[in-house]
Structure 1
Amino acid sequence: MRNSRNIKTAIIGLFLTLFFTTANAQHSYIDNHKDIAADLSKQYGIPSSIILAIAIVESGAGTSKASKTLNNHFGILGKNDVNNSKFKSFSTVRESYEAFCRMLSKKKIYTRLKDNNNSNDWVKAIASTGYSTKPNEWIKKINSTIAKFGLQK
């Protein structure tokens, strides 16, 4: 009985450590990238909440292989010189963010959404363009990320 209790305690402790480590990583990611998102929001008329939330989800808050080795925080496909990956490489993180905003600005949805700060409108519209292979799941992840970190503010 005692071993069972110790195992349960260890599992709960591990879970809490992972949970708080992940939350801290996400908060650090936001702190480190919010200025880029704010600058590009002003330049492109895309809410910074959308830019940041998509980057967090697509890059695992900067922990994905593509974000670490290719500076690709949005899962943008293309050529790279680093490895045999299908993802495009960027010289800097900012370059990745800029490429994402340029990509959105070329979509039909952009003209009707530019300077619209309603993140729900943006999330649904981006999902409708085929950005994600699982749009309903993607919409939930983006919206929950915006809500969890108060990115809409």
Structure 2
Amino acid sequence: MTSNKMFRRGWFCAMLGILLLTANMAFSQRSATRYVDKYKPTAIRIMNETGIPASVILGVAMLESGMGTSRNAKLLNNHFGIVGRNTLHKKKGVTYRSRYKEFVHAEESFNYFARLLARKKWYPGLKGQTEYKLWLKHMNHGGYSTAGQEWVRRVTGMINRYKLYKLDEHMAYAGS
């Protein structure tokens, strides 16, 4: 094979790789936009009821559920990796087994997540605060995820990449 043919083949492979990467990034962006559009009202409602920033709620949900594409999100309506009972073993045709909690609706998992955080000893001192990094720090130290600092980095990346922190600017929490 001549060096000219090798160059063209290499160039073609490189361009194909760039094209596939760009298409994948565009799909991921559309998927994220759809997810945020769908669950933003729920996250804002919960934020205004509980004082938990919508950025934290959505950032964790996006990461834990693969933006709604994980099996747990699809089959169990569980967007937060919450452990508990489910009825998958009773459903005909479902061979997937899971230790994660089943919810009737996705919004129910969002509400459960908020109640879970509200039971933490650090919650009263943070509610109404919009600094998402502080929330993630406390969640990490409280053992929310076994992935530790990597989990914080990934949720922070979601919040920053999709500018979820802008949702927190409209917090109207007026709790006691």
TM-score by length of 2: 0.84
Map of 1:49 onto structure 2? 55
Q: Is 1:117 aligned to 2:123, yes or no?
A: no
Tell me the alpha carbon deviations over residues 21-41 of structure 1, each in whole angstroms, 9 at most, x when there is no partner. Answer: 111101110011000000111
- Aligned positions of 1:1-153 closer than 5 A: 1=6, 2-83=8-89, 84-153=97-166
Tell me the alpha carbon deviations over residues 45-86 of structure 1, each in whole angstroms, 9 at most, x when there is no partner. Answer: 101111000000111110111001100000000110024201
Question: How many angstroms apart in 2 are the aligned matches of 1:101 and 1:142?
Answer: 16
Q: RMSD between aligned alpha carbons?
A: 0.9
Bigger radius of gyration among the two? 2
Moved over 4 A (4+): none
Identity %: 36
How many residues are paired up?
153
Question: How many angstroms apart in 1 are the aligned matches of 2:11 and 2:162?
Answer: 34
SS of aligned partner of 1:108: coil
Q: Highest relative contact order (Cα 8 Å, sep 6+), 1 or 2? A: 2
SS of aligned partner of 1:116: coil
Question: How many angstroms apart in 2 are the aligned matches of 1:86 and 1:14?
Answer: 35
Q: Which amino acid aligns with 1:51?
A: I
TM-score by length of 1: 0.96
